[in-house]
Amino acid sequence: PTIYAITPTYSRPVQKAELTRLANTLRQVARLHWILVEDAAARSELVSRFVARAGLPCTHLHAPTPRRYKRPGLPRATEQRNAGLAWLRQRHRHQRAQPGVLFFADDDNTYSLELFQEMRTTRKVSVWPVGLVGGRRYERPLVENGKVVGWYTGWRADRPFAIDMAGFAVSLQVILSNPKAVFKRRGSQPGMQESDFLKQITTVEELEPKANNCTKVLVWHTRTEKVNLANEPKYHLDTVKIEV
Ligand code: UGA
Ligand code: MN
């Protein structure tokens, strides 16, 4: 199966660095199609140029987050992930679904190559641990006799699926046979996006544990420090235009 990775991304000083690091990982994964969705009213020149030289199959989309949703404490990237889902469904609207697996790859996380081998065998929905998240070194699905029976998490253990966006993959077949499953703003609290989405397409009993029964961390919820631009010049500008 082809792996489809949906990556929301937005303009900020570290954007190109994040995308460079992510592309360097994804380029090493066979049969991977990158769906890069800019949080913007149009595709930017920076990302367009980047995509053209990225060296991997990539679809470049854009979807702006309405201004009223750009607030701390509100979920991020809802519109961008939905744009990626819509593209996937549109692309496969005629033919019977080719085998495929969908994964949500935020632009700042750290992904091992082994993770992609694990998710490629997803039949419906697969899950695995995520490192450096939820106020712990890792969160993970608890597995007994090959089934998910609970969640090891430090944060809102009452979530039906107590899992980060980087902790699951979904088969393309499941995405296509649940055409209405999307990320929702209304009624979705921060941190509940994953649960609210997974509820629409699967049950906890049905989940397929990966990464040796969820005992190995293969992806890390790393976050990039906000960059210090205190010494950016106000007047003595550089004499040539630099691509950063
Ligand atoms: C956590 C989860 O890991 C995310 O999957 C979830 O979307 C997010 O919380 C949330 O609050 O909704 P966190 O590291 O806090 O992640 O979020 P970011 O990495 O800042 O953003 C997640 C993704 O959305 C990134 O790919 C980022 O580039 C993108 N993003 C962020 C936008 O497209 N627009 C924004 O305004 C902010
Ligand atoms: Mn992040």
Q: What is the pTM of this model?
A: 0.97
Give residue 189's pLDDT band: very low, low, confident or very high (50, 70, 90). confident
**93: exposed, middle or buried (C-beta count within 10 Å: 0-12, 13-18, 19+)?**
exposed
ipTM, interface predicted TM-score of the complex: 0.99
Task: Find, among 7, 10, 15, 9, the residue nearest to 243 by Cα.
Answer: 15
Ligand 1 pocket member 55 (CB < 6 A): no
Report whether 41 contacts 64 (CB < 8 A): yes
pLDDT confidence of residue 219: 99
pLDDT confidence of residue 186: 81
Flag the least confident range among 19-28, 40-49, 60-69, 230-239. Answer: 230-239
Ligand 1 pocket member 105 (CB < 6 A): no
Flag the least confident range among 36-45, 93-102, 170-179, 204-213. Answer: 93-102
d(CA 186, CA 221): 25
Residue nearest to atom 6 of ligand 1 (CA): 76
Q: Is it the case that residue 237 has pLDDT exceeding 90?
A: no
Which secondary structure element, helix H or strand E, spans residue 214, and what is its range? helix 211-214
Tell me which ligand sits closest to the C-alpha of residue 39: 1
The structure tokens listed for 28 are 């090493």
Q: Is 194 a catalytic residue?
A: yes
Residue nearest to atom 17 of ligand 1 (CA): 76
d(CA 175, CA 177): 6
End-to-end CA distance of the chain: 35
196-213 mean pLDDT: 98
The structure tokens listed for 6 are 């949906």
Ligand 1 pocket member 108 (CB < 6 A): yes
Give residue 95's pLDDT band: very low, low, confident or very high (50, 70, 90). confident
pLDDT in tens, 2-20: 999 999 999 999 999 999 9
Q: pLDDT exceeding 70 applies to what percent of the chain?
A: 100
